Chain A
Amino acid sequence: MSQHTHDHGHDHRHPPQPDIDSEPMGYYQIMGAALGELLIEKGVITADELRATIELIDSKSPEGGAKVVARAWTDREYKKRLLENGNATVDELGIEMPDTHLVVVENTDTVHNVIVCTLCSCYPRMLLGLPPDWYKAHAYRSRVVHEPRAVLGEFGTELPDDTEIRVHDSTADMRYLVLPRRPDGTEDMSEKELVELVTRDCMIGVTLPKAL
């Protein structure tokens, strides 16, 4: 097929690009939309409040969590506070988690932590943004809880055989963040440079941060 340029007359039809709402809505999408409309209609929330909440959640990204991890790697006292009281300590960096309780779990040379929500898709959104699709998938949620090492292997993460793997199932009011180990060879890096090494997946616990 020839290259499509736009300096010709439009005597043909473009194949339509699918719209995000081309597909029929599913059962739960309809329920969600209906619930939102009812809450607005009854005056419980306003349309603008609903919009603003979506905008706030969409504005979050793993960079927030990465700043917390890099600070913990470079400030011993900050790390101590973070492990004891997650909410107040991430708040020091301007990250508010008003509705959930943060538990930070630390990887060591003998323990590796990994996060899942087997019941749904609970996730520390204020620190990491929206969860990746695989985190919400049945395969991850059902498998990581009983064969974590096999699942980590599929993510390219090989741990020593004697490492103790701790799975954390977010079933209720807590949210979890993995504090990975600072990679070897990063001793001379600044906190700002370290932020770049901390990825979303290593804060979920399916991989390890790597020195660049």
Chain B
Amino acid sequence: MARFASGDKVLVRKAYPPGHVRTPWYIRGKSGVIERICGEFGNPEELAYGRDGTPKQTLYRVRFAQNEVWDGYAENPKDTVDIEIYEHWLEPVA
């Protein structure tokens, strides 16, 4: 069952665990909005070490405003970046 729905505001966990992590550094600690639910997928942080990837994680596409991602973003303030992020990296924003 997906924890978040399209349109929900979410915060990416600001964590730096070792291992094979698919959450880019530049987006950790940033907040965005769920663009869509992509489905459930094996957790790459497990799969990378030969394990079976369970429990599966819901994967989301999250849309971030570029001028909130980068200090001093110099281009169009309406620009966005969409990133695929697994559920265990996301926290709700009130």
Contacts and interface: CB of A to CB of B under 8 A. Distances in A.
Interface of A: 101, 103, 118-119, 145-150, 161-174
Nearest to B82: A168
Interface residues of B, number: 26
Contacts, number: 73
A161 B77 CA distance: 10
Interface of B: 22-24, 26, 38-39, 41, 44, 59, 61, 66, 69-70, 73-76, 78-86
B26 A170 contact: no
A171 B84 contact: yes
B84 A172 contact: yes
Contacts of B84: 169-174
Contacts of A101: 38-39
Contacts of B81: 145, 166-169
A163 B24 CA distance: 26
A81 B74 CA distance: 36
B80 A164 contact: yes
Given A119-B22, A119-B24, A169 B82 contact: yes
A148 B23 contact: no
Contact of A171 (B22, B69, B75): B22
Contacts of A145: 26, 81
Contacts of B74: 147
Given A118-B26, A146-B66, A146-B69, A171 B83 contact: yes
A175 to B, nearest CB: 10
A103 B61 CA distance: 11
Contact of B79 (A164, A170, A172): A164
Contact of A163 (B70, B76, B83, B86): B76
A170 B81 CA distance: 11
B70 A146 contact: yes
A24 to B, nearest CB: 27
B19 to A, nearest CB: 13
Nearest to B40: A173
A156 B26 CA distance: 27
Contacts of A173: 38-39, 41, 59, 84
Given A146-B26, A169-B81, A172-B59, 14 more contacts: A118-B26, A119-B24, A145-B26, A146-B69, A165-B80, A166-B79, A166-B80, A166-B81, A167-B66, A171-B24, A172-B38, A173-B84, A174-B38, A174-B59
A169 B44 CA distance: 16
A65 B53 CA distance: 31
Closest 10 CB pairs of A and B: A172-B84, A167-B81, A164-B78, A169-B83, A149-B75, A165-B79, A171-B84, A146-B70, A173-B41, A168-B82
